[in-house]
Amino acid sequence: MNQKSVIYFVSALFVALIFTSCSKDVPTLSKTAVTPGAQSLYVLNQGTMNQNNSTLTMYNLADSAATTDWFTTQNGVGLGDTGNDMAIYGGKIYIVMNVSSYVEVTDFKGKALKQIPLFNGTVARQPREIAFYKNKVYVCSFDSSVVRIDTTTLAVDGITKAGSNPDGICVANDKLYVSNSGGLNYPNYANTVSVIDIPTFTQTKTITVVTNPFTLKAGDDGKVYLLSRGNYGSIAGALQQIDPTTDAVTATYPGSAAVDFALDGTKLYYCNFDYSTMTSSVKVMDLTTNTATDFITDGTAIPLASGIAVDAATGNVYVASSASDYVSNGTVYCFDSTGKKLFSFAAGVNPWKMVFIR
Amino acid sequence: MLFFTPFFGVVSAAFRHGKGATLLTLLFFLLLSKPIMAQRDTVHVIPEVTVTAMPLPHLSNTTVPLQTFNAANLAAMNVLQLSDVVKQFAGVTVKDYGGIGGLKTVSIRGLGPTHTAVSYDGQLMGDAQNGEIDLSKLSLDHVKEISLANGDNEDPLESARAFASAGLLSVVTMRPHLDSLQRYRAEATMQTGSFGWIHPSWWMANRWSRHLSTTLYLESQYANGQYPFTIHNGDSIQHLQRTNSDVHLFHGEANVFYIPDSLHQLTAKVYASGGARGLPGAVIFYNPYSAQGQRLYDNDYFLQARFTSVLSKKSQYAVSAKAEDAITRYVDPYFLNSSGGLDNQYRQQEYDLSGSFAQRFNQQWQLSLASDVVVNHLSANLYQFAQPSRVSSYSSVKGRYANSWFHAEAALLSTFVADRVALGNDSPRHSRLSPMVSVSADPFQQLHWQWRAFYKETFRMPTFNELYYTGIGNTRLKPETAQQWNVGTSYWTSGSVGYLSFSIDGYYNRVINKIVAVPSGNLFIWSMLNLGLVSIHGVDMSLRGETRVANGIHVTMEGSYTYQSALDKSNPQNSTYNQQIAYTPENSGAATAGLLMPWMNMSYTLLFSGYRYDLSHSLLPGYSDSSMALWRKFSWHHTSLTVKGEFLNLWNEQYAIVKNYPMPGRSWRVSVGIVF
């Protein structure tokens, strides 16, 4: 990082303290809360399947130091196989481990607090994504289940059923939205989102969406945003908007095939890797006008975009990229809100989800 | 069996029959007067010699590196499976997923397993679906010889298809050596050992007439495969047990040998094998139930026949045919799809028709022509599966020049491959010319010090899985090319106290358009691309010797060492650029020492490998694996009893060749065999 970008970055951090924003994890309709500046950034690296090489990379924003396998540094053991989601709630970090089939709970230093195994008898549930609501944790798994975990006991206290191979979950309008990917039913992917009533913890309806849906996020506008992968053939992946008051799809954004997206106020950032051209792209869409433009303005090329996150305090955008061979260590790039690269650092194998420690 | 010189090893009991005395004299003269290569090049007017004489073991005088273990070497080895023998060759990397039923593939000199062909009794084993042969399918019992040739095996009647691969691993089984006094010979063996290992086998050879004899071999293998292992997770060590790794295998084959006269020979084989095995998969941290449910069932049947004829002192030909039907079924009842599990069934059929002809013009010049037509078909119960068929034609022409001290060969192979699919797009047709040149010289003929060099270019077609596997395959894949340059020298000396031989080869190889799998979309969906370029240079060394220390007491030793720098040159942007490719150690080797005594035989075998990288370019530690065996043979007239006890992985080294696929620790095995 050169001196200019350090100055720029530090001032951006400072400015961020003044600006107001709202975090992904506690959605509110108005931007009144002040998001404190992040001290560090955690990156969950998926690893490669069956290699037990999923890692948690810690990037210290104060001294620009990255520790690739921070979890092992802190705990003496590894995370296990295929980390798929990570989120912060109630002063703890929750890490969803897909093939190892458990949820790891750590403190902000990455020290393990509890491992919550997710098995149906002897069959791994294969958890995928996580959401939170009123001191409960909700985890959707490939085995169609949504489990409820109490945040004080950190034990499973309820299980319900969604559709085929759930691959995304969020809370909006006091309801759970779970995407049913059917991802293990190639080529017969599913195309629904289950709506689950939280008090009764049962599915009340399904919404038809673009084929093979996965990540779901609730926006600051109260809407649900959904990303689908398509069928890797005739049906392209797309971003969609669902209105949780009517549970109807209210927008399907054209040309929005993506591998991940992130929300920041009225901005929706999404990144993609196009296999036909072998190029990555990062776009930003203004949700007030629904127009998308290229985000990166300084010509920085991302090898293989895999994940994206926005620091609500600074508006800085972090883009995770796999190595071009998918099996060696990837990189995380940080851009300012105008799309100019500030810095980058080495993460683990197939970096993907990112959270900010404030 | 009798020893007739310490160095030429054993000559089989066949010489006891009628023509034995003459043949023995001829053979003796032949072996002592000329280097062995000369013998190999001569059109054999006495074909029995090739059948029964053991050439100088392991390091013969050839223009290409050729390593051999014969039956006597194999008897003195303490190995569990055929793949363990192959691990002792120089320049070889066996990728072993552990356990008896675990996949074992062989890669020669960093080229990858798809560039190695495996022949079983002279006919290539095919697997158009995966392109690599699982060595765990081959039995070690009744194997007469295992050899590994880089480049060319120098048989003037070699099939064009065998010549088409970068390296050839040949497994040759025992032939009957019977006469009118002994019309049959049978061997029953029972073996048992750790992890529930039970292995009964039966071999029988019958002589039906002067011209016709047969062998029958039946074996069954069973093991529960539940071995303990330790695995490191960060700073902690976990003690676990392998589960779902049971093996049930049956293998039976019958061979017919029809030798109407000394000029003609017809051999045929009927082969059937069936197996069921658990697939324990990778050890997954925190998931104690990852090894359950997944099973593989396979049934393999083939029929092969080969006819060879010597037309004159100058020409000979061979014709062979093979038909194979192989069914594989993979089940995973815990796969989380809506139909409640996976049940994938694959059926491969292969037909191979082959002919070769060799003509000698004079003492120096010889020409060989060979041609193969191979038809492959794969059907599967996968959704929208292409059901591909492939016709491959191979034609080779080889010219050889040899005089008493110099030998040169030039060969050209023409290959044409066309695929047809029932659904979707065909892969484009491929037509290639592949050259080879080799020279060798034996300038100091009395010194047995030979020099050699060769260049060979080969390619391998993308496999059916790489091209057509539903959702993964890429029909636009190009073939993968392998180029090999080799220089080497070998030396041997022998005397009344024993023999010693030494061989060293240096090589440079390139793999161009290497086919690699990359995830597309997410980690569950992978795709195939021609992304790779690998540049390999290395050194192979072998040493072998035997000495008589006292009357009836022999000490044998053999060792191999491999240095291999196999660098990924694919993409300067990758962090693995210019780094050693996965699962290829820079340093590896093997050594065996044997003590052969009238009252007891002992041997000690050591395998070692330096560090390697796994697929994510993290280091896997090196390892060494030692084993020892004690055995004795008791004989009464025509009956003999062999008792053998073995300790495998004697020092209980905990290691994995493939990350998260642990190898078994210390185990034992006892076998009793009776021959009558």
Q: If pLDDT is split at 50, 70 and 90, which confidence band does A79 have?
A: very high
Pair B400, B408: CB distance under 8 Å: yes
Is the ipTM value over 0.90, yes or no? no
Mean pLDDT of chain A: 90
Q: Quick one: DSSP state of residue A51? A: T
Window 565-584 of B, Cβ < 8 Å to A: 570-571, 573-576
Window 364-393 of B, Cβ < 8 Å to A: 383-384
- Mutation site for A-interface testing, chosen from B334, B336, B383 by largest number of A Cβ within 10 Å: B336
| Residue B62 pLDDT | 65
For chain B, how many residues are written? 676
| Residue B53 pLDDT | 28
Phi, psi of B16 (to 5 degrees): -75, -15
Residues above pLDDT 70, as percent of chain A:
91
Q: What are B79's two structure tokens?
A: 């190995």
Pair B197, B223: CB distance under 8 Å: yes
Q: Cβ–Cβ of B383/A115 closer than 8 Å?
A: no
Alpha-carbon distances of B108 from A139, A160, B93, B538, rounded to whole Å: 47, 53, 6, 11
Is pTM beyond 0.90 here?
no
CB atoms within 10 A of CB B483: 19
| Residue B524 pLDDT | 55
Window 19-48 of B, Cβ < 8 Å to A: none
Give B-chain residues touching A95 at CB under 8 angstroms.
none
Q: Which of A95-99, A254-258, A266-270, B99-103 shows the lowest mean pLDDT across its residues?
A: B99-103
Question: Rounded distance, CA B371 to CA B352, Å?
Answer: 10
* H or E element that contains A74: helix A70-75
Q: If pLDDT is split at 50, 70 and 90, which confidence band does A16 have?
A: very low
Question: Rounded distance, CA A131 to CA A168, Å?
Answer: 9
Task: Assess whether pLDDT exceeds 90 at residue B33.
Answer: no
Q: What are B241's two structure tokens?
A: 């047990």
Task: Assess whether pLDDT exceeds 90 at residue B141.
Answer: no
Window 506-565 of B, Cβ < 8 Å to A: 516, 518-525, 527, 531
Residues 6+ positions from B591 with CB-CB distance below 8 Å: B557, B558, B559, B560, B605, B606
Nearest to A100 among B285, B292, B522 (CB): B285
Q: Is B263 on the interface with A (CB under 8 A)?
A: no
Find the mean pLDDT for residues B384-390.
92
| Residue B61 pLDDT | 52
Residue B583 CB-half CA count within 13 A: 21
Amino acid occupying residue B137: K
Summarised one tens digit per residue, pLDDT across range B271-307 is 999 999 999 989 999 999 999 999 999 999 999 999 9
- Comparing CA positions, the residue from B95, B94, B90, B93 lying closest to residue B148 is B90
Find the mean pLDDT for residues A53-77.
96
- Comparing CA positions, the residue from B349, B399, B356, B397 lying closest to residue B374 is B349
Residues 6+ positions from B81 with CB-CB distance below 8 Å: B100, B104, B135, B136, B140
Q: What are B165's two structure tokens?
A: 């691969």
Residue A207 pairs with which residues in a beta bridge? A193
Q: If pLDDT is split at 50, 70 and 90, which confidence band does B4 have?
A: very low
Cis peptide bond prior to B57, omega within 30° of 0: no
| Residue B11 pLDDT | 29
- Comparing CA positions, the residue from B70, B39, B40 lying closest to residue B54 is B70
Q: If pLDDT is split at 50, 70 and 90, which confidence band does B17 have?
A: very low
Question: Rounded distance, CA B243 to CA B424, Å?
Answer: 40
Task: Assess whether pLDDT exceeds 90 at residue A214.
Answer: yes
Pair B279, B294: CB distance under 8 Å: yes
Alpha-carbon distances of B98 from B102, B139, B143, B612, rounded to whole Å: 5, 17, 23, 16
Q: Is B54 on the interface with A (CB under 8 A)?
A: no
Pair B157, B370: CB distance under 8 Å: yes
Task: Assess whether pLDDT exceeds 60 at residue B27.
Answer: no
Mean pLDDT of chain B: 85
Q: If pLDDT is split at 50, 70 and 90, which confidence band does A345 have?
A: very high
| Residue B525 pLDDT | 60
Task: Assess whether pLDDT exceeds 50 at residue A18.
Answer: no
Task: Assess whether pLDDT exceeds 60 at residue A99.
Answer: yes
Question: Rounded distance, CA B624 to CA B588, Å?
Answer: 9
Nearest to A324 among B289, B471, B573 (CB): B573
Summarised one tens digit per residue, pLDDT across range B88-119 is 899 888 888 887 778 888 889 989 889 999 99
Residues above pLDDT 90, as percent of chain B:
61
Question: Pairing between strand B116-120 and B167-173?
Answer: parallel
| Residue B516 pLDDT | 82
Summarised one tens digit per residue, pLDDT across range B567-613 is 999 888 777 889 998 889 999 999 999 999 988 999 999 999 999 99
Q: Is A52 on the interface with B (CB under 8 A)?
A: yes
For chain A, how many residues are written? 358
- Mutation site for B-interface testing, chosen from A126, A186, A304 by largest number of B Cβ within 10 Å: A186
Summarised one tens digit per residue, pLDDT across range B638-655 is 899 999 999 999 999 999
Window 143-162 of A, Cβ < 8 Å to B: 143-144
Amino acid occupying residue A7: I
| Residue B522 pLDDT | 52
Q: Is B498 on the interface with A (CB under 8 A)?
A: no
Task: Assess whether pLDDT exceeds 60 at residue B308.
Answer: yes
Q: If pLDDT is split at 50, 70 and 90, which confidence band does B139 have?
A: confident
Question: Pairing between strand B143-150 and B66-70?
Answer: antiparallel
Window 203-262 of A, Cβ < 8 Å to B: 229, 232, 259
| Residue B112 pLDDT | 87
The number of angstroms, rounded, from the C-alpha of B431 to the middle of its chain's C-alpha atoms is: 27
- Comparing CA positions, the residue from B588, B572, B440, B592 lying closest to residue B107 is B588
The number of angstroms, rounded, from the C-alpha of A268 to the middle of its chain's C-alpha atoms is: 13
Task: Assess whether pLDDT exceeds 80 at residue A155.
Answer: yes
Three-state secondary-structure class, residue B33: helix
Quote the minimal CA–CA distance from B274 to chain A in Å: 28
- Comparing CA positions, the residue from B347, B357, B358 lying closest to residue B388 is B347
Amino acid occupying residue B78: N
Q: Which of A9-18, B69-78, B149-158, B495-504 shows the lowest mean pLDDT across its residues?
A: A9-18
Task: Assess whether pLDDT exceeds 70 at residue B56.
Answer: no
Three-state secondary-structure class, residue B83: helix
CB atoms within 10 A of CB A309: 25
Task: Assess whether pLDDT exceeds 80 at residue A8.
Answer: no
Pair B407, B37: CB distance under 8 Å: yes
| Residue A1 pLDDT | 38
Higher pLDDT, A274 or A153: A153
| Residue A265 pLDDT | 93
Give B-chain residues touching A331 at CB under 8 angstroms.
none
B62-77 exposure pattern, b = at least 16 Cβ within 10 A, e = fewer: bbbbbbbbbbbbbbbb
Find the mean pLDDT for residues A126-138.
97
Find the mean pLDDT for residues A217-240.
94
Question: Rounded distance, CA B421 to CA B513, Å?
Answer: 23
Q: If pLDDT is split at 50, 70 and 90, which confidence band does A241 have?
A: very high
Q: Quick one: DSSP state of residue B53? A: B
Residues 6+ positions from B327 with CB-CB distance below 8 Å: B298, B299, B300, B345, B346, B347, B348
B282: closest chain A residue by CA? A50
Q: Quick one: DSSP state of residue B445? A: G
